[in-house]
Structure 1
């Protein structure tokens, strides 16, 4: 018997997308990148334009965020400790292959995965856990046992990324959380420790920063409008100008051209993310999108002649591409799609809108229809909740469609990519309107010809919570549910000390206070309504998950079984929130697909 399609899809290589998934050497002759190949996310190095990728080291945990030293001698990257998100920083000598851990003996230190090397190559800037949140910190770019040489600057309850050095090495800039989902950029003078803030309120938010080559300006995503624009902050005058803004789409992740005369950035449009370029001298904008799907992590080549980015297509895993600015010609730098999948039929999704059950919102989503529908369907709910499903590579989606199921991805209230009002529409109302948005997806699928008794629901993380909320609030709708790395209880998520402090702060700021809002949070916690569950359930978790610890998975499964309900569960050892080890990742996706096919009559 051949390997099931979902096992082939789950094991397919892919280039990373988040934080800093690749880095060009200073002379542009080679690229280092995150690649899911051979068992987990590892760093690979490749000579350009068409060299063979070479794996860096022989590490077994996820590795991420490569960065070359200014002289090209070293490559720095982070390594996760078994999914716990307690990252170490490694230094690899390009010529000899010597590999050194710069943060040994730091089992409880949890920096974010994207440290930044100073322009002179002597220091690393990080964001590290400290107290009840995170601190902006600096350490030598050398072994630092127990983190004893860390120099801490400002502390913040929440931050999105590590600080970035100014080109002269005198200042750091970092995106921090201020309240709810508002963000600001903090600029720190490392000599005087004086700070300057950009944004940080409902009226003006700022994040996703990039220093100009001369160090005098910061490009960022944000603004006072509903849809994030691309702004430029002048450090000398404190003024902000807008390089690009559109009142209908979100713009984000700006990067500077080497000569400081242009910016590249991303735009979200109807479930896809395009690649754009703006000339700051005359304001002219050019789109360089390569094809359908999501573009990630734009960057200029050192000579400024081309853009590098990651593209995740609906018919191919994320890969690295180069786009020439003068001609628009595209070169594919990596090719992750396995040979045996090249003849497979991959289906592209279409943007849709439908009315929520409270009739207060039109809900955007992605609909993916099989060539030969069998009447069954699955609603796949994204996590975050500040994220959104896109028309890009998705192994689960393609496995379900190949089996004849129609797939709907609702981008419910709270999703990003559709403006700030939509992103904040579930704040203080989590488990309420957002769940109605998802439940209304059932009615939408029925109108599209699906059998109302054969519709499944699944999701990961916040999508796992949505799955549990759906089967407890609307038990009559669902044939089956699969909740991946879920949480079940708003109260518990704020008091469980196994959850990182910054995530508990986010919950307090967005779901409510466990004392003042206890009645509401209790009512909308699925763990308090397990008596309403009717659908067979599969629960999947990671033993070392610092975001949604698996303790309650066992409690929920035990209680549902006591009540005579079908509830299978698996907690994967040595895995965190992502479930990234190859064996476990394949098992996770295979179980999800097979459980849903079985209980929708599609096996």
Structure 2
């Protein structure tokens, strides 16, 4: 079952061209590669690299494709170009290559490419225009900061930059005029606002954005360029909403996030009225937290492409036809069937201070062992969503009950909730784990056979649970996790340090707290066995984090196994490595959760 689940291919929609062709990421070969799907549904592989590709776009008015890719999971994006008029598999030709720095694709335009790079100082990201004919480059923005997203207006006169701002979990919006490079501040750098899913109006008079400015939930608001004013488009006081405007100036796709699920509906643009829901399977995500896998409209607005996934459906590209409301799943003809899997149950767990922690409970599909694995998401400001996870599905097949929490600090449950773990409140999220442990008997689980499993910040939570609550947990699996907040901030990529300090604390002023909240500081208290997985090229959480926790435990005689993959970065993306690491991790859990301690 494990091999089957991990080997099921996924498809992610990337771009569409004027003739209805679709670019997708497809991992049926074991790594994520670029494929083209023709309007008649036929597939063509465009890349066949040993490493995975991250993103790609058609160059309008041509048969060129720009590909964003990196080597060994380093996340040091490089840009190459494909000529689709070449027969067979086209050659991947270098376009912007500077392997010491990040060079990430923003947008392909007629005759030019917009990209972001940190090559000026390794910290700040500049927005560059690259002329495809001459190779000449123009700087559109070099005002500093981590530019996380760029959205160009349809008339190419403007770009909106989304920058990581000075406040944790907040984004600043800047407007840049492309002809003059003049910058207008739309939202203040110190404003407590999250902003995402910027979508321009077809006439370039303004844009829509999902924002929680002055409210608890993400609402859909419009910014008008002429008047520099905001107005509400759609507001839901209980849910987060985002929207993507169709080029026909008539329609709007609206995503609604509720308790880990994102639904899509077609709305009328002029008044926001709902026209029809998209009839997707219930309980999944047609966008991930409104920041990833977002819908893409065709140039004429006749159809949209997007990616849908759920706990029982691997990520799959869909085409939605506006006029007929037809939905078509775009899968290769030889795509294997998905085995029957359990849907999660949504529950709430009372925590130490009366807060209610949202959790998803996945019941075992194999013989029930009476054990539990608490699977913790990364971030910390991200969320556990109702998405495809072969890890969770495999754990339930092993016989474990899997509890997936959105501890305080998670997004999707309002601004107040995700601010409850900021800085000095960091360990309150770890206390949520203790509350979940105490609650486990209510769902029929033996508390003495409970383990922690998480990646990235979720890996930090695993280590923190074992260090600060050593009497509670029987075992832990840490994937690319943080052992010390201090050494993590010292050694992470410089551009990441500049933004992560706003969430965790600053090395210059908060070292005492950072040390106190670090699992490595309490390593002598850890007694549960630990299994660690890390990529040697991880630019976010350096391999040294895994090495120092495993070395410290080995010195104390605590069982700890470390697996390092030389061709991976922040997590395992290659199928061959996933099929090596996770069976070992599951065997480790089977051994240590088999009997009551």
Aligned-pair CA distance for 1:36: 1.5
Aligned-pair CA distance for 1:360: 4.1
Residue by residue, what CA displacement relative to the aligned partner does 1:429-479 show, whole Å, maximum 9, x if unpaired? 354111111222212222211011111111000000000000001111111
Task: Confirm whether residue 117 of structure 1 aligns to residue 108 of structure 2.
Answer: yes
Aligned-pair CA distance for 1:49: 3.7
| 1:316–1:337 Cα contact (<8 Å) kept | no
SS class of match (2:582): helix
Task: Identify which of 69, 75, 79 aligns with 1:89.
Answer: 79
Which residue pairs with 2:290 in the alignment?
Answer: none
Task: Confirm whether residue 568 of structure 1 aligns to residue 561 of structure 2.
Answer: yes
| Separation in 2, partners of 1:337, 1:591 | 30
The verdict on how the C-alpha distance between 1:38 and 1:15 changes in structure 2, with shifts beyond 3 A counting, is same
Which residue pairs with 1:469 in the alignment?
Answer: 464
Task: Identify which of 323, 326, 329 aligns with 2:326.
Answer: 329
After superposition, residues 213-362 of structure 1 pair within 5 angstroms as 213-222=202-211, 223-252=213-242, 254-285=243-274, 286-291=276-281, 292-296=283-287, 297-334=294-331, 339=336, 342=338, 344-356=339-351, 358-362=352-356
Which residue pairs with 1:544 in the alignment?
Answer: 537
Task: Identify which of 393, 399, 420 aligns with 1:425.
Answer: 420
| 1:199–1:206 Cα contact (<8 Å) kept | no
After superposition, residues 7-86 of structure 1 pair within 5 angstroms as 7-16=3-12, 21-28=13-20, 30-51=21-42, 53-86=43-76
| Separation in 2, partners of 1:551, 1:263 | 47
Which residue pairs with 2:476 in the alignment?
Answer: 481
| Separation in 2, partners of 1:55, 1:329 | 26
Task: Confirm whether residue 592 of structure 1 aligns to residue 585 of structure 2.
Answer: yes
The verdict on how the C-alpha distance between 1:128 and 1:594 changes in structure 2, with shifts beyond 3 A counting, is same
Identify the range of structure 1 (266-275 vs 197-206) with the bigger mean alpha-carbon deviation: 197-206
Task: Identify which of 389, 398, 401 aligns with 2:396.
Answer: 401
Task: Identify which of 176, 180, 187 aligns with 2:163.
Answer: 176
| Separation in 2, partners of 1:431, 1:282 | 42
Consecutive unaligned residues of structure 1, counting only runs of 5 or more, are none
Task: Identify which of 6, 15, 22 aligns with 2:2.
Answer: 6
Residue by residue, what CA displacement relative to the aligned partner does 1:339-385 show, whole Å, maximum 9, x if unpaired? 3x54x3311112111111x2242111211112552201100000011
Task: Confirm whether residue 166 of structure 1 aligns to residue 153 of structure 2.
Answer: yes
The verdict on how the C-alpha distance between 1:204 and 1:567 changes in structure 2, with shifts beyond 3 A counting, is closer
Which residue pairs with 1:509 in the alignment?
Answer: 502
Aligned-pair CA distance for 1:326: 4.4
| Separation in 1, partners of 2:447, 2:581 | 26
SS class of match (1:102): strand
Aligned-pair CA distance for 1:272: 0.8
| 2:374–2:405 Cα contact (<8 Å) kept | yes
Task: Identify which of 553, 556, 563 aligns with 2:549.
Answer: 556
Residue by residue, what CA displacement relative to the aligned partner does 1:190-243 show, whole Å, maximum 9, x if unpaired? 222211222245455433312222111111110321111111111111111221
SS class of match (1:264): strand
Identify the range of structure 1 (417-426 vs 506-515) with the bigger mean alpha-carbon deviation: 506-515
Q: TM-score, normalised by structure 2?
A: 0.92
| Separation in 2, partners of 1:545, 1:583 | 18
Task: Identify which of 364, 367, 375 aligns with 1:370.
Answer: 364
The verdict on how the C-alpha distance between 1:167 and 1:300 changes in structure 2, with shifts beyond 3 A counting, is closer
The verdict on how the C-alpha distance between 1:70 and 1:360 changes in structure 2, with shifts beyond 3 A counting, is same
The verdict on how the C-alpha distance between 1:301 and 1:547 changes in structure 2, with shifts beyond 3 A counting, is same
| Separation in 2, partners of 1:590, 1:135 | 39
| 2:16–2:296 Cα contact (<8 Å) kept | no
| 1:386–1:423 Cα contact (<8 Å) kept | yes
Which residue pairs with 2:178 in the alignment?
Answer: 190
| 1:271–1:366 Cα contact (<8 Å) kept | no
Identify the range of structure 1 (540-549 vs 122-131) with the bigger mean alpha-carbon deviation: 122-131
| Separation in 1, partners of 2:264, 2:539 | 33
| Separation in 2, partners of 1:129, 1:232 | 34
| 2:6–2:390 Cα contact (<8 Å) kept | yes
Consecutive unaligned residues of structure 2, counting only runs of 5 or more, are 288-293
The verdict on how the C-alpha distance between 1:430 and 1:550 changes in structure 2, with shifts beyond 3 A counting, is farther
The verdict on how the C-alpha distance between 1:218 and 1:230 changes in structure 2, with shifts beyond 3 A counting, is same
Which residue pairs with 2:374 in the alignment?
Answer: 379
SS class of match (1:155): coil
| 1:317–1:336 Cα contact (<8 Å) kept | no
| Separation in 2, partners of 1:111, 1:217 | 28
SS class of match (1:58): coil
Aligned length: 581
SS class of match (2:264): strand
Identify the range of structure 1 (202-211 vs 90-99) with the bigger mean alpha-carbon deviation: 202-211
| Separation in 2, partners of 1:481, 1:528 | 17
| Separation in 2, partners of 1:205, 1:312 | 25
Q: TM-score, normalised by structure 1?
A: 0.91
